[in-house]
Amino acid sequence: MSKFGLVTKGLVKDNPTFVLLLGMCPTLATTTSAMNGLSMGLATLFVLVLSNMAISALAPAVPDKVHIPVYIVVIATFVTVLQFLMQAFVPDIYATLGLFIPLIVVNCIVLGRAEAFANKNSVFDSALDGLGVGLGFTCSLTVLGAVREILGSLSVFGWKIPGTGDGMLAFVMAPGAFLCLGYLMVLFNKFLAKK
Amino acid sequence: MEILLIIISAIFVNNIVLAQFLGICPYLGVSNKLSTASGMAAAVAFVITLATLVTYLLNQYLLVPNQLEFLQTIAFILVIAALVQMVEIVLKKISPVLYQALGIFLPLITTNCAVLGVAITVTKEVTFGGVTKMLGLGEALIYAFATSLGYGLAMILFAGLREHLALNDVPKAFKGIPIALITVGILAMAFMGFAGIA
């Protein structure tokens, strides 16, 4: 696959949210607004790129029997680094996303890419793969967040649509997450997944 | 009274799947049949309670006194992974029947974010019934067990719905996960009604 293909495949063809159905918990929990979705996506992207690179470099030295625990420790290390960085520079976003930042450790996308790609490809290719999958995840989360924000509070990225009242609160709360993701998946299947 | 509040809040008001979005992957993955759903629910209840006990003690007596809280994420995930392995080995030895029933679900639980989620939640302040406070060990264990009961409840309700759903003819684009998500959405809406209790 071309280098360019590695970066773009996560957007539609191998989209982690709509096609592979990975990382559902943060997808549903943090997309109360477009901004939150974008932040969560970028946080995952950060861990994904770094852990992919580290695991690709470490893979030849790791005995097969203990590779899963080793990968988990590597991922947990980068998540801890991310927690420090976010606490220092964007404490507001860190507080909003809360529990779901440490939970990136158990996001199946990250371990999935380590197992399926990073441990048998070069460091550079693994970085591109992490970037591609991370971008796909970020896009899905931002779209889902934007849809919920528009329906739920009639605003986009915190900008209130003028001349409108209150939105449908249910879309910002739990049921809206499931409903919006469900219907977005239907649209995705209908128009994009056809090959 | 307070214990009762914790239990009701954890099972219904702050249901782990329908309000907190934890453990969604196995929730969607193994809820096709009622029998596998109840097996998974039992395995999760067992592991969540045990993992909370161990991580709570670890946090209270090792990490906090040594100001190592920043190692929480790494320490907890390792403990949980090791614990799941140990439970598997012990169960195989002492209760082959239970192992047969829970066996295939156990390795999956390491990456169930509900386990790590509850373990981290009980080390911070928890809100229930309008009160926000730190939980003691006993309360934390009750909270963990009640949360996993809530997981089981949501799982079994959904598995029952899905068994009926499988018999219906839904449009092609809705087949599989999309219609399942929409169903969970409606279920979550029903659970929102419990918010009135709190």
CB A192 within 8 A of CB A12: yes
Rounded Cα gap, residues A111 and A104, in angstroms: 10
ipTM: 0.84
The phi and psi torsions of B135 (rounded to 5 degrees) equal: -95, 145
User: Six-digit token pair at A158?
Assistant: 């915190």
Provide the 3-class DSSP secondary structure of residue B39: helix
Strand partners, B172: none
Mutation for testing the A interface, residue in B12, B30, B44, B113 having most A CBs under 10 Å: B113
Q: What is the pLDDT of residue B7?
A: 87
The phi and psi torsions of A62 (rounded to 5 degrees) equal: -95, 125
Residue A23 has pLDDT above 90, yes or no: no
pLDDT per position as a tens digit, B123-150 = 887 777 677 788 888 889 999 999 999 9
Contacts of B70 in chain A (CB under 8 A): 80, 83-84
Q: Between B91 and A194, whose confidence is greater?
A: B91
Q: What is the pLDDT of residue B157?
A: 92
The ranges of chain B with pLDDT < 70 are: 102-104, 129, 198
* DSSP 8-state secondary structure symbol assigned to residue A161: P
Which amino acid appears at position A169 of this protein? Answer: L
**Residues A119-141: what's their mean pLDDT?**
91
CB B156 within 8 A of CB B182: no
User: In chain B, whose CA is at the least distance from the CA of A29?
Assistant: B21
Which amino acid appears at position A114 of this protein? Answer: A
pLDDT per position as a tens digit, A43-101 = 999 999 999 999 999 988 888 888 888 898 999 999 999 999 999 999 999 998 888 89
**Residues A28-52: what's their mean pLDDT?**
92
Q: What is the pLDDT of residue B198?
A: 57
CB A52 within 8 A of CB A174: no
Helix (H) or strand (E) holding B124: none
Contacts of A24 in chain B (CB under 8 A): 24-25, 28
Q: What is the pLDDT of residue B57?
A: 93
Residue A162 has pLDDT above 80, yes or no: no
pTM for the whole structure:
0.87
In this prediction, residue A191 has a pLDDT band, given cuts at 50, 70 and 90, of confident
Q: What is the pLDDT of residue A167?
A: 78
CA distances (Å), B163 to each of B31, B154, B158, B176, in order? 9, 14, 9, 12
CA distances (Å), A79 to each of A20, A71, B92, in order? 23, 12, 34
* DSSP 8-state secondary structure symbol assigned to residue B78: H
Q: What is the pLDDT of residue B104?
A: 66
User: For B116-193, where are the E strands, in sequence order?
Assistant: 126-128, 131-133
Nearest to B111 among A28, A102, A108 (CB): A108
> For A27-57, what is the HEC assignment?
HHHCCCCHHHHHHHHHHHHHHHHHHHHHHHH
Residue of B91, B68, B144, B185 whose CA lies nearest to A178 = B185
Chain B positions contacting chain A at CB under 8 Å are: 18-25, 28, 70-74, 77-78, 81, 110-113, 116-117, 120-121, 172-174, 177-182, 184-186, 188-189, 191-192
Rounded Cα gap, residues B9 and B141, in angstroms: 14
Strand partners, B128: B131
Helix (H) or strand (E) holding A159: strand A159-160
Residues with Cβ within 8 Å of residue B133, at least 6 apart in sequence:
B125, B126
pLDDT per position as a tens digit, A127-136 = 999 999 999 9
Judging by beta carbons within 10 Å of its beta carbon (0-12, 13-18, 19+), is residue A123 exposed, middle or buried?
Answer: middle
Q: What is the pLDDT of residue B32?
A: 80
Q: What percent of chain A has pLDDT over 90?
A: 41
Longest CA–CA separation in chain A, Å: 62
Q: What is the pLDDT of residue B59?
A: 92
In this prediction, residue A156 has a pLDDT band, given cuts at 50, 70 and 90, of confident
Torsion of CA A173, A179, A181, A182, to 10 degrees: 160
